Structure 1
């Protein structure tokens, strides 16, 4: 009996490794879309991005959901998150480089952080893209957030193309941005 269980566990491990090895993006990519334009919304690749409107620290109103002029990355972060600190300069560079084709919206999940530390993070990392405070975690919950950072890549039609949990290399992120902009 134990021998059969051990064999099955070994098979499951090998199948899992084979799947991740054949994935073009590795473990960080949780969802990917390869479907036509959907009609329903939800926090997963292939569906329309859940809509939200919120005011940024700059006082402007920002909307996610439906067709947009540019592709969007919604970046959920917290000031205490070390991978978020590593990723911040890459996001600033990408926001500046692709400003005509891409909007990056930083969403500090203040429910798990605090406003003072979030403001200090924005200042320390010279975030040039719009930043919003998700005080009660409503937006993060709407996207079923599970980790920091989480990057939601949304095309111009408002469809989620990928949800990336955790930080990825600057090169890999830029590759995904180029693909997102073309979609």
Structure 2
């Protein structure tokens, strides 16, 4: 019972940290593209290799139809895993960039976004419908455990894994995924890890 209380306390603390790092009061979580373009100028995250070698968590995520995907089963192809939420303004800014990045990477890396919204499909489905993404799929993990597994309580958190499921690098916080630097860092990592 004590372990359960400790885990619940950690979950609450982690969610509080995640909520505190995002703008929950945004009038329109799915901001218009014009506002997103202006917001891209203030992206501050940096590529960090301190956790390189850690394994992709073997956790289940679900889509809007209830289909289950075990993240640990994604070995065999590099994965760029983005953990986000609809209430997180920096996350919303990144999503169209990640969709375009998936286009540019043309199947060399799977771009996988996983929502941490507690309301799940209730808020993720309308967001995806409004944004009309070409490449991103609406995966969700509503218990907040993925953030703990990644040892990050900040949204967004994006981690690049090589084809063997080992972390190459991560970005905690927002990042300009539309720039050449992002594509070069991803492709260089993929080429170096085979």
CA contact (8 A) 1:154 1:180 kept: no
Structure 2: which 5+ runs fail to align?
1-43
* 3-state SS of paired residue (1:76): strand
How far is 1:67 from its partner? 6.6
Bigger fraction of residues in helix? 2
Calculate the TM-score normalised by the size of structure 1.
Answer: 0.69
- Which string of whole-angstrom CA distances, capped at 9 and with x for unpartnered residues, describes residues 87-108 of structure 1? 1111111112224211111111
Give 1:174's match in structure 2, choosing from 173, 176, 183. 183
CA contact (8 A) 1:134 1:140 kept: no
Larger radius of gyration: 1
The yes-or-no answer on 1:29 pairing with 2:46 is yes
Aligned pair count reads: 146
1:22 maps to none
CA RMSD of aligned residues (A): 2.3
Cα distance change of structure 1 residues 85 and 136 upon mapping to structure 2, 3 Å threshold: same
The yes-or-no answer on 1:51 pairing with 2:58 is yes
Separation (CA, whole Å) in 2 of partners of 1:102 and 1:30: 17
How far is 1:86 from its partner? 1.5
Cα distance change of structure 1 residues 146 and 178 upon mapping to structure 2, 3 Å threshold: same
Bigger fraction of residues in strand? 1
The yes-or-no answer on 1:141 pairing with 2:148 is yes
CA contact (8 A) 2:86 2:117 kept: no
CA contact (8 A) 2:78 2:190 kept: yes
* 3-state SS of paired residue (1:65): helix
Name segments (4+ residues, structure 1) moved above 4 Å: none
1:109 maps to 116
